[in-house]
Structure 1
Amino acid sequence: MIRSGTTVDQMVRAIGDRIVTGYLRPGEKLDETSLAARFDVSRTPVREALGQLSAMGLVERRPNRGAIVAVVTQEHLASIFESMAELEAICARFSAERMTSNERRRLEIEHQASARMVQLGAKEDYEYFNHEFHSRLYRGAHNTHIHDLTVMTRSRLAPFRRAQFMLPGRLAKSWQEHDLIVTAIMRGDSVAAGKAARDHVSIVSEASAVFAADDRKPIRRDVA
């Protein structure tokens, strides 16, 4: 049984990951009854999860016909990542200008600690760190509207941003890209921070394109 309060979020993550990694194919039906049985929940949270996945563009809900896995084109995915890159660049630039000394210190400490995760190949731990790292940048911008807009856009890309770490060598490259962002912020160099963040998301976009390919095959999460 999935813990109360996290049921919908966990279903969104699990189903979204299976769609992105190719285990659920475009056009495949998502039966509410079967999903409810699999997750040991009622159909109500299943509908909510499918609604969130629909908002993310991963599921297509058809009136009186149920839900199916949506077709995610590379062009559509690239357009969202392009927006994400600009939003993250703004956040990084503002963070370099506005982060408090304590916020900068925590960012650097957490970043350096994540190097150990890369050495160990701890993908799940690094996924969690990566989410927190970017959240620190959004909060560090000290602009509520930009923060909320960035978080909303990130939620649409969440399964793809997680899936990138299944690609060979991606953990180490991600850390190196983060290092450029952190170094610029610690120097108070807003221009360099913005560029590093934009480049980082652009690289993630390129890495994630494989998960929107029409001929992709299922990719196991234990791939190095």
Structure 2
Amino acid sequence: METISMRLYRILADEIINGTLAPGDSLEENAIGERFKVSRTPIRAALRELASNGLIELRPRKGGVVVSISIDELADTLEAMGELEALCCRISAERMSAVQKKQLELIHLQSLECIERGDEEGYLEMNAKFHQLICAGAHNRSLAESIDKLRLRLNQFRAAQGGVERRLAKSQEEHAAIVDAIVASDAERSYLAMRDHANRLNVHVLEVMRERQDAHAA
């Protein structure tokens, strides 16, 4: 269930990413409280999350200021995330248990069922489970923590890109290649399949963000 602070974070992050809130704009606690009719506690939690993900700079006892989102910095972060996910996939091909591989195949089939009945929300839920299971299958806590941290930072950018993850058939096709490689314990093929999947998404994220920044500047 989405908490008040999570809802505030999601709304404000979307507004920063889509340009409704521009670099230099202030996010004052009083104004946010009046707008959403909420107390300071969830507001401060949402602002801390925005700051931790590099979207604002905090001002003690006042709120925050929207920072400029550099395309180069975003590209660096996306590249790092893609490489870490691909590495995780490589390791999972070698370490994932038979039970985990069967779970991965089941999630893949459930994703296909979501596509067949047009359930985009269900597909996205299965997509999250798919990537989380691959991460768990590597059995490397440090790698998992690094990926989780980057995923949190990038989630809003990926979610605000006009539905790239909703191109369900293409995503499912790429997932099929990943599943086949992991089940076959083919580490190199697993790495390449996940890297190709991540790169397609990353290219689209950057294209959309450039278009939005250009439109805002015009």
Q: TM-score range by the shorter chain?
A: 0.7 to 0.9
- Tell me how many residue pairs correspond in the alignment: 214
Deviation at 1:64, TM superposition (A): 6.6
Are the aligned partners of 1:13 and 1:159 in contact in 2 as well (CA < 8 Å)? Answer: yes
Give the aligned partner of residue 187 of structure 1: 184
Deviation string, structure 1 residues 82-123 (Cα, Å, up to 9, x no partner): 111111011101111111111111111111211233344433
Contact 1:210 1:216 in 2 (8 A): no
Alignment of 1:16-165 (within 5 A): 16-62=13-59, 66-164=63-161
1:169-223 Cα shifts (integer Å, max 9, x gaps): 6332222222211111111111111111112111111111134321247xxxxxx
Tell me: CA distance 1:46–1:149, structure 2 relative to 1, closer, same or farther (3 Å). same
What are the Cα deviations for residues 102-152 of structure 1, in whole angstroms up to 9, with x where unaligned? 111111111121123334443333332222211111111001111111111
Q: Indicate conservation of the 8 Å contact 1:21/1:163, yes or no.
A: yes
Structure 1 unpaired stretches of 5+: 218-224
Q: Which moved more, 1:124-133 or 1:31-40?
A: 31-40
> SS at 1:67's partner residue?
strand
C-alpha distance in 1 between matches for 2:205 and 2:71? 9
Give 1:16 shift: 1.9
Distance 1:168 1:158, change over 3 A: closer
- Alignment of 1:7 with 2:1, yes or no, is no
Q: Say if 2:115 and 2:123, in contact at 8 Å, map to a contact too.
A: yes
- Cα RMSD for the two superposed structures: 2.4
Higher relative contact order (CA 8 A, sep 6+): 1
Deviation (angstroms), 1:56: 0.9
Which residue number in structure 2 is paired with residue 221 of structure 1? none
- Between the aligned partners of 1:38 and 1:128, the Cα distance in structure 2 is 30
Q: Give secondary structure in 2 for the equivalent of 1:206.
A: helix
Helix, strand or coil: the match of 2:68?
A: coil
Shifted more, 182-191 versus 205-214: the winner is 205-214
> Are residues 1:173 and 2:170 paired?
yes
**What's the TM-score once normalised by structure 1's chain length?**
0.84
8 Å Cα contact 1:31/1:66 also seen in 2? yes
Q: Residues 164 and 170 of structure 1 are in contact (CA less than 8 Å); yes or no, is this contact kept in structure 2?
A: no
Q: Contact between 2:124 and 2:165, CA under 8 Å: does it hold in 1?
A: no
Q: Secondary structure at the match of 1:215?
A: helix
